[in-house]
Amino acid sequence: MPFSLHANAGFASADYTGARAALIDRLALLQAGGAGELSIARAALLSNLDAAVSGRLGAIASIQTGDIVIPALSLSATATISAVVVARTALILLGVSGTANTETDAHARLTLTNTTTVTATREASTLAVTVSYMVIEFAA
């Protein structure tokens, strides 16, 4: 199932922050196939994300992405982000990678703990895993 970026996404618009431009560039790269083949499910998910973001791009205050490494034998770890207004912020789990022995090693949850902290937690702690996230703060 192909997906497309909306023409009004404004690739060259000076109105977009560097983070917004980076997100649009990543979506364009995926659309063009530059990041490898997309599964049908992933293409549909990106299409839905594109539609949601394109319809509200003017209302986004900031987009931040990052990785949290939960070390072996640990159940949680944190990352520091630029301050956001928690009530206007969405936290998205992008994926978990590593060499986990069990499903509970790899299964992670994210929490926006406060205005500057994202916390990743899991149920088991055998091996290290990396949890990727995106924080989207909407404008007032």
Which one of 41, 58, 75 terminates a domain?
Answer: 58
Are 42 and 102 within one domain?
A: no
Q: Could you tell me if residue 120 is inside a domain?
A: yes
Same domain, 79 and 131: yes
Q: Are residues 68 and 134 in the same domain?
A: yes
Is 41 among the domain residues? yes
Q: Are residues 33 and 98 in the same domain?
A: no
Q: Tally the domains of the chain.
A: 2
| pLDDT at site 126 | 81
Q: Report CA 110 to chain centroid distance, whole Å.
A: 11
What pLDDT is attached to residue 41? 59
Domain that holds residue 51: 7-58
| This prediction's pTM | 0.60
Angle, alpha carbons 12-15-19 (nearest 5°): 80
Contact present, 136 and 127 (Cβ < 8 Å)? no
pLDDT digits (tens, 9 = 90+) for 74-123: 999 999 999 999 998 999 999 888 876 677 777 889 999 999 999 999 98
Contacts for 111 with CB less than 8 Å, ≥ 6 apart: 91, 118, 119, 121
Residues 110, 41 share a domain: no
Whole-Å CA distances, 26 to 21, 47, 56, 58: 9, 13, 18, 18
